[in-house]
């Protein structure tokens, strides 16, 4: 059965003192449940925050390099990330694809690096507005998955995490309707079944990302194939983020 997950992607926001205050409030307000909670702060904060969080909240990294080491100025290797307390990373976020020219081939290398180094990840996929308006969103997202993720074996795919983030709904205030979100999540689950089997399909957590907040989380999370959310701006306020977690 797919795990319920609520993840917060802070992107390039918050100063260190603000980040510390946020996690301290999260610790106080977070109610223990079967929902897995993961924070993706700016990487320079991971070591400090790892000493302040309890076992109920995990830390992840927003980006990492596919190589284990080398002359890649400004990049982070998986073993470095693990050494400061993070156990999971984002792969394929739309902003990395758009602003840093991360292609499906590059993302495939990151997937392989994570698998080989036993590093968990959330694989992000989603379509831009013009693809949605052309009615080609299913073909577009399926291509992203096939070219970067679906080369994994069944054993490697079990219990993975995929986040569907319609690009037109990220940071815009627009949100896919519950029907739109469920339609894409159901399609992804179907593709997993066709590529692998029902066991694999049901083990993969499918998250919705794209202006999910405390006002719409309950409706989105009630969809049969939505297993949680990858939260952006709403994760920057501890009280709001806690309300989203409690939406399950």
> CA–CA separation, 113 vs 223, rounded Å?
32
Decide which of 206 and 247 is more confident: 206
Can you read off the two tokens belonging to residue 18? 């603000």
Q: Is 95 a catalytic residue?
A: no
Q: Using 50, 70 and 90 to split pLDDT, how confident is the model at 54?
A: confident
Q: What number is the average pLDDT over the span 178-203?
A: 97
Q: Angle between the 137-148 and 104-116 helix axes, to the nearest 10 degrees?
A: 50
The catalytic residue among 93, 95, 185, 214 is 93
Model pLDDT, residue 55: 81
248 has a pLDDT exceeding 90: no
Model pLDDT, residue 171: 67
Q: How far is CA 162 from CA 90, 158, 228, in A?
A: 10, 12, 10
132 has a pLDDT exceeding 80: yes
Model pLDDT, residue 175: 72
The answer to whether 23 and 53 have CB atoms below 8 angstroms apart is yes
The answer to whether 126 and 166 have CB atoms below 8 angstroms apart is yes
Model pLDDT, residue 34: 86
In this structure, how many other beta carbons lie within 10 angstroms of the beta carbon of residue 246? 16
Using a pLDDT cut of 70, give the percent of the chain over it: 98
In what helix (H) or strand (E) does residue 107 lie, and over which residues does it extend? helix 104-116
Q: What number is the average pLDDT over the span 105-124?
A: 98
Residue from 152, 179, 185, 180 nearest 168 by CA: 180
In what helix (H) or strand (E) does residue 143 lie, and over which residues does it extend? helix 137-148
210 has a pLDDT exceeding 90: no
Domains and CATH numbers, the chain: 5-245 (3.20.20.70)
Model pLDDT, residue 30: 67
pLDDT in tens, 161-172: 999 999 988 767
User: What is the DSSP secondary-structure string of 145-156?
Assistant: HHHHTTTS-HHH
Q: Is 165 a catalytic residue?
A: yes
Task: Give SS3 for 189.
Answer: helix
pTM here is: 0.96
Model pLDDT, residue 208: 95
In what helix (H) or strand (E) does residue 139 lie, and over which residues does it extend? helix 137-148
Q: Could you tell me the maximum CA-CA distance found in the chain, to the nearest angstrom?
A: 48
Task: Give SS3 for 110.
Answer: helix
The catalytic residue among 58, 95, 127, 165 is 165
Model pLDDT, residue 90: 98
Model pLDDT, residue 31: 64
Residue written as tokens 């400090």?
A: 48
Pairing verdict, β 36-40 and 5-9: parallel
Can you read off the two tokens belonging to residue 77? 């290797």
Task: Give SS3 for 175.
Answer: coil
| Mean pLDDT value across the chain | 94
Can you read off the two tokens belonging to residue 81? 């990330």
Q: How far is CA 225 from CA 36, 106, 156, 175, 221, in A?
A: 17, 28, 21, 17, 8
CA quadruple 1, 155, 145, 121: dihedral sign: positive
pLDDT in tens, 67-104: 999 999 999 999 999 999 999 999 999 999 999 999 99
Q: Using 50, 70 and 90 to split pLDDT, how confident is the model at 230?
A: very high
* 71: exposed, middle or buried (Cβ count in 10 Å: 0-12, 13-18, 19+): exposed
6 has a pLDDT exceeding 70: yes
User: What is the DSSP secondary-structure string of 196-207?
Assistant: S-HHHHHHSEEE
């Amino acid at each position: 059965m797919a795990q319920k997950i609520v993840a917060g992607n802070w992107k390039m926001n918050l100063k260190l003192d603000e980040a510390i205050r946020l996690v301290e409030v999260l610790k106080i307000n977070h109610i223990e449940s079967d929902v897995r909670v993961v924070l993706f702060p700016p990487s320079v904060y991971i070591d400090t925050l790892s000493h302040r969080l309890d076992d109920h909240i995990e830390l992840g990294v927003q980006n990492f390099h596919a190589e284990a080491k080398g002359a890649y100025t400004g990049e982070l290797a998986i073993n470095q990330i693990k050494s400061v307390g993070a156990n999971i990373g984002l792969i394929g976020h739309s902003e990395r694809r758009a602003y840093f020219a991360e292609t499906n081939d590059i993302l495939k290398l990151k997937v392989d690096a994570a698998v080989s180094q036993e590093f968990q990840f959330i694989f992000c996929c989603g379509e831009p507005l013009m693809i949605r308006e052309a009615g080609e969103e299913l073909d577009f997202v399926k291509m992203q998955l096939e070219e970067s993720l679906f080369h994994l074996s069944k054993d490697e795919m079990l219990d993975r995490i995929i986040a569907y983030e319609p690009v037109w709904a990220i940071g815009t205030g627009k949100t896919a309707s519950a029907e739109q979100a469920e339609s894409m999540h159901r399609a992804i689950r179907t593709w997993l079944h066709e590529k692998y089997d029902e066991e694999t399909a049901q083990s993969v957590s499918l998250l919705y990302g794209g202006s999910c907040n405390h006002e719409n989380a309950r409706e989105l999370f009630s969809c049969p194939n939505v297993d949680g959310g990858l939260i952006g701006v709403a994760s920057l306020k501890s009280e709001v983020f806690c309300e989203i977690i409690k939406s399950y």
